[in-house]
Amino acid sequence: FQHNFPTRICPMPRMRILTVSEQETFDKPPLLDHRERKQLFDLPQGLMDIAASLRTPDTRIGFMLVCAYFRTAKRFYSPQDFQERDIQAAATMLGQKRLDFSPARYAKQTRTRHQQMVLDFHGFAPFVKGTEVALSVEIATMARTHLKPHLIFGRCVDFLIQRRVQVPKSGTLLELIRSGLQARKAELIALMDAHI
């Protein structure tokens, strides 16, 4: 009795680049102390004018948080993850109450529009397909120098910020790094096969 199963049944295990904790930390807003909060929420006048012109307390507070977090991390976060103390600080600075903000009322469409305003104000581009291609080329170069995956991740973030591009969620970067390292591995195997 013969089995006609393919020889490679088991998929390769997913490469661990960040720990679960590191990934969660990366994808959540930074924990700010009192001094950092005061500094980050002291927005440039142009952004304060936009915040003041928005119709509802939810959108004003939400916009202010999007601005402050982008200033510190060059990325955007889900309103469900906004830090409680930051919501309180933004509300106070805008003369609102903490209860004037609910993540559920800060609609995705509104958030997307606010994020584009923030990118435009800071002269940053959104993370798009074209950026992925440029970043993949950079990852391939780093893979050839045998950098550790964790270091490649940090350098990808630096690469995007230097080129004034919004930093995406960790999952996007991790998939690009895994693909780049797998491609490099396949390249090395092909080289070895050609020389044996």
pLDDT of 181-193, one tens digit each?
Answer: 887 777 676 677 6
Query: What pLDDT is recorded for position 14?
Result: 63
Q: Which residue has the higher pLDDT, 132 or 13?
A: 132
| 140 Cβ neighbours under 8 A, 6+ residues apart | 180, 183, 184
Query: What pLDDT is recorded for position 185?
Result: 74
Please, which residues bridge with residue 125 across strands?
165
Q: How confident is the model at residue 16 (pLDDT cuts 50, 70, 90)?
A: confident
In the predicted structure, residue 113 carries a pLDDT above the cut 80: yes
User: 83-99, pLDDT tens digit by residue?
Assistant: 999 999 999 999 999 99
Per-residue burial over 24-46, b if 16 or more Cβ lie within 10 Å, else e, is eebbebeebeeeebeebbebeee
| Whole-angstrom distance, CA of residue 153 vs CA of residue 158 | 9
Q: Residue holding tokens 């491609």?
A: 183
In the predicted structure, residue 195 carries a pLDDT above the cut 70: no
Q: How confident is the model at residue 8 (pLDDT cuts 50, 70, 90)?
A: very low
| Whole-angstrom distance, CA of residue 46 vs CA of residue 49 | 5
In the predicted structure, residue 6 carries a pLDDT above the cut 50: no
Q: How confident is the model at residue 9 (pLDDT cuts 50, 70, 90)?
A: very low
Query: What pLDDT is recorded for position 7?
Result: 42
Of 196, 53, 69, give the one whose Cα is nearest residue 122. Answer: 69
Query: What pLDDT is recorded for position 22?
Result: 94
In the predicted structure, residue 135 carries a pLDDT above the cut 80: yes
Cα angle vertex 159, ends 136, 12, to 5°? 40
Rounded CA Rg of the chain: 22
Helix (H) or strand (E) run with residue 140 in it: helix 129-144
Q: For the ranges 3-7, 17-21, 70-74, 155-159, which has the lowest average pLDDT?
A: 3-7
Query: What pLDDT is recorded for position 184?
Result: 74
Averaged confidence pLDDT in the chain: 88
In the predicted structure, residue 175 carries a pLDDT above the cut 90: yes
Tokens of 149: 């995956």
